[in-house]
Structure 1
């Protein structure tokens, strides 16, 4: 016993060092693209293709070009905010009630419904672009918010339903029954007992759905032919240089930083709540 214990004590520092080294490498690997995007956004036209780790002469000219001389980018930011906010709100309203029903009610075919929800979340979006474009084109909704919100909702809703259902299945339903014994109806017990308990999972789902919709490009590039309803992902891809043969790498990097920074800040500020929501249903209590 003592030999085994001493062996564990001897190996534990090396294990901790290996774990720390792995975390450092994973962090560097994950943040390297974002770091290079920030550095490239600070380069001028003369050294935009340089491989130096730092810009020779840092400049904010790319950011000035994006905000000052490109009104379409500001419009795209507004479009993305509207599309992502509306899609997230509708997805939450529908997914919370659907997840509660799937977790609490007993009916035939429940495993089939859950399997269909998971299958819908994994269905390749590229196979749906052509029929959706034909459908919204017949309705005259191309270049409008509905043509972007509805497809995003079809992708975001299965994700939200699946995450919340997994959480609701592990809730202590005795609290809801106790509330009903005390005189609450099922809707009142759901509002006063279940929703507060599910707040961490709902908050996490909100962040996940918002980020998913904010970063969506495939459907947006097909449904928005002009800048009227184009989100930022499409606006960045359509940024044009001063000439036909010039690619505005600096402006694209600056626009990418502007788009990514709010999401990074949200995740950093609320990382504990996000982790709590992802792990809240892992242990029954």
Structure 2
């Protein structure tokens, strides 16, 4: 029986380049988060002291207390959570059906539709802001959660749909045909066969939609002016005064805002990574 030779190990220059790339990514992703965390544990005097100290000498949680008392941080968190959850659920509902239609139905202009989806995903948000504002104002939806849920859904749909198209196309049609022979409808085959096999892709699409909605600032600032409906990104800017910038308190609020998303990704990192890798290979 023929055997295949193992792949040769990477050369020394290749190893060096990989090490540099990995170190750059690690520093770029880890250093800002650590700096914000250290800042949130410092006092104002220590933060402005010279020379600069990286780690806090006397860590304090006063800034976290002020983050909740100086502004309505719990309200901001609740609004962001509801908008992100609703946007994610609506995005998954629409993109699953759209991706399944593009992957399974013999659509006449399938390639044109895919090109349009790709083109729409490249539009900068600032070009859509005025039309969206006028549309929402005409519908009387300003200062509501819907004013953020619908635009966030629209912005997340292209990427999520394209990702799921790649997953659905990789699933053999024979599995669905067998389910339909046994009495399943096409929707039943989608729910009981296709979606379970595409779990990593669906989960990754949901994470992307959730993070996009959680971090969104421009639309939340433009479409909602009610204090009771402010989301976290908009609420954090209220901590700064006209002539004061309490960076430790702002950093504490940022840490509180980062923790839910970080815990979500850490808890399901295997599914997210497998979804991104498999989706990228299949796409």
TM-score scaled by length of structure 2 = 0.89
Question: How is 1:115-194 mapped onto 2 (pairs within 5 angstroms)?
Answer: 115-194=115-194
Q: Look up the match of 1:58.
A: 59
The question of whether the paired residues in 2 share the 8 Å contact of 1:76 and 1:230 is answered with yes
Does 1:273 pair with 2:271? yes
- Pairing of 1:250-269 with structure 2 (within 5 A): 250-269=248-267
Q: Shift of residue 18 of structure 1? A: 5.4
- Of the structure 1 ranges 18-27 and 48-57, higher mean CA displacement relative to structure 2 is found in 18-27
For residue 249 of structure 1, report the CA deviation from its aligned partner: 1.4
Contact conserved, 2:83 with 2:148, CA < 8 A, in 1?
yes
- Give the Å deviation of 1:283: 6.0
Q: Distance in 2 between matches of 1:75 and 1:125?
A: 26
CA distance in 2 between counterparts of 1:90 and 1:153 reads 7
Distance 1:224 1:281, change over 3 A: closer
Change (3 A) 1:283 1:223: closer
Aligned runs of 1:224-243 on 2, under 5 Å? Answer: 224-241=224-241
Preserved CA contact (<8 Å) 2:200 2:275: yes
2: CA distance between counterparts of 1:281 and 1:131? 33
Residue deviations 1:201-249 (CA, integer Å, cap 9, x gap): 11111111100110111111111223221110010122234xx411121
Count of residue pairs brought into register by the alignment: 274
Asked if 1:47 corresponds to 2:60, the answer is no
SS at match of 1:233: helix
CA distance in 1, matches of 2:217, 2:237: 9
Partner Cα separation in structure 1 for residue 133 and residue 48 of structure 2: 37
CA deviations over 1:161-219 (Å, ceiling 9, x no partner): 11111211221112112222333332222221111111111111111110011011111
The match for 1:36 is 35
* 1:87 and 1:153 in contact (8 A); partners too: yes
Following the alignment from structure 1 to structure 2, what is the Cα–Cα distance between the partners of residues 185 and 27? Answer: 48
1:278 deviates by 1.9
CA contact 1:170–1:281 (8 Å) conserved in 2: no
TM-superposition CA deviations, 1:37-89 (whole Å, max 9, x none): 1111111111223532112322111100011342x221111000010000100
Bigger CA drift: 115-124 or 74-83? Answer: 115-124
Query: For the residues of structure 2 that align with 1:250 and 1:102, how far apart are their CA atoms?
Result: 49
Aligned residues of 1:170 and 1:283 also touching (Cα < 8 A):
no
User: Mean Cα displacement is larger for which, 176-185 or 157-166?
Assistant: 176-185
The 5-angstrom pairing of residues 239-250 of structure 1 reads 239-241=239-241, 244-250=242-248
CA pair 123-283 structure 1, distance change in 2 beyond 3 A: closer
Q: List runs of 5+ in structure 2 lacking aligned partners.
A: none
Aligned residues of 2:70 and 2:239 also touching (Cα < 8 A): no
Calculate the TM-score normalised by the size of structure 1.
0.88
